[in-house]
Amino acid sequence: MNNIITLKDVNKSYSIGENSLHVLKDINFTVEKGDFIAILGASGSGKSTLMNIIGCMDTTDTGEYFIEDIAIHQCDDNELAKVRNSNIGFIFQKYHLIPQYNILQNVMMPLLIRGMSRNEAMKIAKENLRRVGLEDRIEHRPNELSGGQQQRVAIARALVTKPALLLADEPTGALDSTTGREILSLFKELNKAGNTIIMITHDANVAKESNKILYLDDGILSK
């Protein structure tokens, strides 16, 4: 079995005053190696909560969650942090680049945090910036780049650790339609190269660029 992600009967609720809000309801799905899946839902459908659980930034109330052979639902905070750093590459709507660093330094950062030598980290960072078409901009800082270029930097940063999963949260949400299409084309190229991708979006036109769409409505996930 080539499952990268397995969720079994996952539930999540939050307390609001004296009330309990049931946000995710018996979520079941698997992601196989090489999948490109979009999770499509409106605001308030539970998308952010599901993304936070998949990304090991939040935990389930009940149910099981596996990344490859790691039982995430049994992990403590330190183990979750290790999984986030090693198994998942995050791509956010707002890029989250460090403004005082140039883009090469931004992309090197996850590798340096892991303890990799500076020379080796630089080599891998340059290679991935070349993959996203920015090898000629490595000395530029984020504010010297367009939104689409900043998102490409964020994608390169997500790729450097060779994660099992790329998790993209509204990756075109801050971009104009033309630039958004360019980023989606890049995702398709990365998927063809073997990267497994989950993309969270509220936009049906974005979702249809994936290979499979799952629909999240009022905490219930369906095909």
pLDDT at 49: 93
Per the listing, tokens 């999963």 go with 165
Domain ranges of the chain: 3-222
- pLDDT, one tens digit per residue, over 56-112 is 999 999 999 999 989 999 999 999 999 998 899 999 888 889 999 999 999 999 999
The per-residue pLDDT for 16 is: 83
Q: What mean pLDDT is predicted for residues 133-142?
A: 93
Where does 3-222 sit in CATH, by number? 3.40.50.300
**What tokens were used for 164?**
């099992």
Calculate mean pLDDT across residues 22-40.
95
Cβ contact 91:169 at 8 Å: yes
pLDDT band at 1 (very low <50, low <70, confident <90, very high): low
Which pLDDT value is given to residue 95? 83
9 Rama class: left (phi>0) / alpha (psi -120 to 50) / beta = left
pLDDT at position 17 over 70: yes
The model's pLDDT over 64-73, given as tens digits with 9 standing for 90+, comes to: 999 998 999 9
Query: How far apart are the C-alpha atoms of 137 and 217, rounded to whole Å?
Result: 41
Banded model confidence at residue 174, pLDDT cuts 50, 70, 90: confident
In this predicted structure, which of 26-30, 165-169, 170-174 has the lowest mean pLDDT? Answer: 170-174
Average pLDDT over residues 128-133: 92
More confident residue, 157 or 2: 157
Q: pTM for this one?
A: 0.91
Cα distances from 220 to residues 18, 70, 168, 181, 197, in angstroms, run: 23, 25, 20, 29, 21
